Amino acid sequence: MTDNLKAALEKDSVTVREQLAEWFRHPSGRYLYNLEYRVIARLLERMFGYHILQMGAPAEAEFYQASPITHKILIRMEQEPEMEGCSLRCRADAVPVLADTMDVVILPHQLEFTDTPHKLLREIERILIGEGYLIIISFNPWSLCGLWRFFLSWRDQAPWNGRFYSHARIKDWLSLLDLELVHTERVFYLPPVRRSGLIRKLGFLEKLGRYCWSYLGGVHIIVARKHIAPLTPLKLAWQRRRNAVVSGVTKPTTRSRE
């Protein structure tokens, strides 16, 4: 890859991240963020430990602040715009965190806008402790948002130019990494309109969608747990031999004379 092409791709990535951040400042983006934050805050109430990490903040949202865990870390992805109070950046395939250290990792809208989502998940699996939690926030392709993307992806504007992955696809990736899916919630049943007044009028669709067509929420929030296979104790060879002798009656090796 030439230097000019690489620079062009990096510029495009930065533009996409900036567009995504701008979309979250619009009425529909702010409405979605509030829905996501309420769900994440409720989930984090039941997750404890020593360290929590949030990777990326497309809406300049600090979901991790709702956690009772004391040590909180925010890392920006390398293409994201600057954010006050955050100096750490990383690539999807190189997270600057030691292995087996994080109790909880939050991943808000990063799978859709990285070229290597499976590598990003592999890095998260590496840094999670055994039985640690991963929370993924991701757009759902089977929803009104997915329909909007189908018609608007040609405009090359975020979030419609991202890759929306289905729940089944993400579940498959998690299972390959021994990350067990334990919970899923869906939010944002409204069409992603830009007018605040229209959003208020359509607010009833949020409650109705959860009961009538829950799988069609615009965003799925997925909770996975790092699975640790239990150790199976092995019997020592000498124990097996000993049991074979004492558990039954042994026959003499020679016949006694009558």
**DSSP letters for 191-222:** ---S-HHHHHHTTHHHHHHHHH-GGG-SEEEE
CA dist 196 and 158 (Å) reads 19
Residue 85: what residue type?
Answer: G
Helices H / strands E in the chain, number of each: 8, 7
Q: What was the pLDDT predicted at 78?
A: 72
In this prediction, what percent of the chain has a pLDDT beyond 70? 78
pLDDT tens-digit series, residues 214-247: 889 999 999 999 987 666 665 555 455 444 444 4
Q: Residue 171, Cβ neighbours under 10 Å: how many?
A: 17
Tracing tokens 């395939």 back to the chain, one arrives at: 93
- Considering the entire predicted model, what is its pTM? 0.82
Return the pLDDT at 156: 78
- The pLDDT, as a whole number, for residue 246 is 44
* Pairwise pLDDT comparison (121 vs 86), residue with the higher score: 121
Q: What is the DSSP letter of 156?
A: -
Residue 117's H or E segment, with its range, is helix 117-127
Mean pLDDT computed over every residue of the chain: 83
pLDDT on residue 5: 36
CA distance 256 to 186: 81
**3-class DSSP assignment, residue 250:** coil
**109: three-class secondary structure by DSSP:** coil
Is 69's pLDDT higher than 70? yes
- The answer to which of 91-105, 188-202, 224-238 has the lowest mean pLDDT is 224-238
Average pLDDT, integer, range 210-214? 86
Q: Which two tokens stand for residue 202?
A: 């359509």
Higher-confidence residue: 183 or 237? 183
Residue 234 or 189, more confident: 189
Distances from the Cα of 72 to the Cα of 49, 60, 134, 153, angstroms: 11, 15, 15, 35
**Mean per-residue pLDDT, 68-79:** 88
Q: What value does the mean pLDDT take over residues 9-21?
A: 66
148 in Cβ contact with 140 (< 8 Å): no
Query: What pLDDT sits at residue 10?
Result: 45
Q: Which uninterrupted H or E stretch holds 12?
A: helix 3-23
Q: What is the reported pLDDT for 150?
A: 83
Give the pLDDT mean for 191-201. Answer: 87
